[in-house]
Amino acid sequence: MQALTESVLHIIQQHSEWAWLIVFLIAFIESLAIFGLFMPGWVLLVGIGSMIGADILEFFPIVVSAYLGAVIGEYLSYYAGYHYHEIILKWKFVARHKRLIEQSKDFFKKHGAAGVFFGRFVGPVRAVIPLVAGISEMPKRTFFWVNLTSGLIWAPLYLIPGILIGAAVNLEKEVSTSLIFILLLISLVLWMAINQTKKSFHIIRGELDVNRQLLAINFVLVWGVFAVLILILIKSSYYDILKDIFAVVWSKIS
C-alpha cells in the first residue's frame, strides 16, 4: 500500500496537468463497494492536499474531481446493491467479509438516511454502506440527495488536513516539524476524546457493561488533556504561525 501511495503521489507531482483525473479515479475506486477496501484513498487525498498547500496543485479542480468521483462511485455501489443483491451476496469474497456486511447493515438499520450520510466518513464501512443501502432498498430519491449533499462535505474535508500540512511545510524546517508534531498530537487526543464520548453514549444506553465511575474519569481526563493542549498552543508562539497557515488555506479554498 505504501509503495502504491508513493508511486501515485510521485506521478501526480510529475504530471500535475492530469491530477484532476487521477483524483477522480482515486475517489471513484475508494467509493466502490468492496474495491474501496483496497484503496488507500484517505492517505492519497491527504498527500494530494499537501500539494495544494504547497502551491503545486489548485484547490477547485481537485475538490470537484474528488466530489464527482465519490458521488458516482457510491451511486454505482447503491445501484448494484439495489438491482443485483441476490447475485452479489453469493460472491465468495462477500461471503468471506460477511461480518463487515452485517456491521454495515446494523449501522444502516440504526441510522437510516443519516447512516448513509455519516457512513461516508466512517472507516471500513464507507466502502459497503451504499451497497447495503441498495440491498435494503432505500428509496432511490433519498439516496440520491443524501449522496450529493454528503459529498459536498466529504471532498474538502479529506483535502484540508493535507493542505494544512503543505502550507506548514513551506515554513522553516525546524518550525514546520514542531508545528506538525503538535497538530498531530492534538488530532490524536481529539480522536481519543471522540471515541471516549461515543463509548459513553453506548454505556448510557445500556449497550456496554463498564464501570461508570472509571468511564467518567476517563472521559474527564481525555477531554481535559485536549483542552490543556489547546490552551498551550494558544499561548505559544506557534499560534500566530497557525493563524497565518489557516489564512493561506482559506485563501486557497475561498
What is the C-alpha separation between 254 and 247, in angstroms, rounded? Answer: 10
Whole-model pTM? 0.69
Q: Would you state the cell numbers that stand for residue 164, as one nine-digit string?
A: 494544512
CB 124 within 8 A of CB 107: no
Reading the chain (254 residues) residue by residue, the pLDDT tens digits are: 567 677 878 888 888 888 899 899 988 988 887 777 777 667 788 788 888 877 888 888 999 999 999 999 999 988 988 887 777 766 766 666 667 667 667 767 777 777 778 777 766 667 778 888 888 788 888 888 989 998 888 888 888 778 777 776 666 555 566 666 777 777 777 777 777 776 666 665 555 555 666 667 777 787 788 788 777 777 776 677 667 666 766 666 66
Q: Give pLDDT, residue 170.
A: 62
Q: Would you state the cell numbers that stand for residue 21, as one nine-digit string?
A: 483525473
Q: Give pLDDT, residue 156.
A: 84
Q: Give pLDDT, residue 67.
A: 93
Q: Give pLDDT, residue 76.
A: 92
CB 41 within 8 A of CB 85: no
Q: Give pLDDT, residue 254.
A: 64
Q: Give pLDDT, residue 8.
A: 78
Q: Give pLDDT, residue 49.
A: 83
